[in-house]
């Protein structure tokens, strides 16, 4: 069952109250988009390269190399989780973390949401309107970016599917340089142009 922005859903965890389950054992599932990396650069003061192997890791998703939040060996938890079980970068946490316990799917060119009920064991969750739960300061610009980025990744992965192993490595390095290693001055505007340029090239 999926939900739209005006639906009520039992997602409000009431500040999680000491639970940090969704910051543990997440493997490579918290994939990071370029805006997540902009936020992480801002909060850590590090470059993309400097975060690799520490806060983030690179891995294959389909035919693309994408960054994801790294789980530390010790405690199998995110490196941003404090000893008190809180997120040290709450205001700048990645998009997937912002949604939890909701997840996101893409249907007919729109974002829909689903409740990851089994992953979140907090049974005291209360109902909240989806758009209130997922609200981000950047609003519509961010939502448009998420939709466009998802479609762009699908197209790029499809285009990479017929490459040889060597070509795949080279094209993925170019992809990472174009979208993740670089800096942005006006993120939403510049990444939109970059996606258009890559699609037309």
Task: Tell me the H-state helices in the chain.
Answer: 34-44, 48-51, 95-99, 130-133, 139-160, 165-176, 187-200
Work out how close the CB of 21 gets to ligand SF4 at its nearest, in angstroms, rounded to a whole number: 4
* Residue 46 burial class via C-beta count within 10 angstroms: exposed 0-12, middle 13-18, buried 19 and up: middle
Work out how close the CB of 182 gets to ligand SF4 at its nearest, in angstroms, rounded to a whole number: 22
Q: For residue 100, what are the contacts with CB-CB under 8 A and spacing of at least 6?
A: 22, 116, 119, 120
Q: Which of 154, 145, 135 is nearest to 186 (CA)?
A: 145
CB nearer to ligand SF4: pick between 22 and 153: 22
Work out how close the CB of 30 gets to ligand SF4 at its nearest, in angstroms, rounded to a whole number: 6
CB nearer to ligand SF4: pick between 133 and 179: 133
Q: Report whether 105 contacts 54 (CB < 8 A).
A: no
Distance between CA atoms of 178 and 175, rounded to whole angstroms?
Answer: 5
Work out how close the CB of 180 gets to ligand SF4 at its nearest, in angstroms, rounded to a whole number: 17
Work out how close the CB of 87 gets to ligand SF4 at its nearest, in angstroms, rounded to a whole number: 3
CB nearer to ligand SF4: pick between 133 and 152: 133
Give the interface with ligand SF4 as residue ranges (CB under 6 A): 13, 16, 19-23, 30, 69, 78, 80-81, 87, 89, 93-94, 97, 100-101, 120, 122
CB nearer to ligand SF4: pick between 45 and 109: 45
Cis peptide before 121 (omega within 30 of 0): no
CB nearer to ligand SF4: pick between 65 and 89: 89
């Amino acid at each position: 069952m999926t939900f739209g922005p005006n639906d009520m859903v039992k997602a409000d965890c009431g500040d999680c109250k000491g639970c940090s389950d969704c910051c543990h054992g997440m493997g490579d599932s918290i994939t990071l988009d370029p805006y997540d990396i902009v936020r992480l650069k801002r909060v850590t003061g590090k470059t993309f390269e400097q975060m690799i192997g520490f806060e983030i890791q690179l891995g294959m998703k389909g035919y693309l190399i994408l960054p994801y939040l790294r789980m530390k060996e010790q405690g199998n938890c995110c490196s941003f989780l404090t000893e008190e079980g809180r997120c040290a970068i709450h205001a700048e946490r990645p998009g997937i973390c912002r949604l939890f316990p909701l997840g996101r799917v893409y249907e007919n060119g729109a974002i829909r949401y689903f409740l990851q009920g089994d992953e979140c064991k907090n049974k005291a969750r209360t109902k909240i309107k989806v758009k209130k739960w997922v609200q981000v300061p950047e609003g519509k610009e961010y939502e448009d970016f998420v939709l466009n980025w998802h479609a762009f990744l699908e197209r790029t992965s499809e285009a990479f599917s017929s490459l040889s192993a060597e070509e795949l490595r080279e094209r993925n390095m170019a992809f990472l340089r174009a979208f993740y290693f670089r800096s942005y001055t006006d993120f939403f505007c510049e990444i939109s142009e970059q996606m258009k340029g890559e699609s037309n090239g």
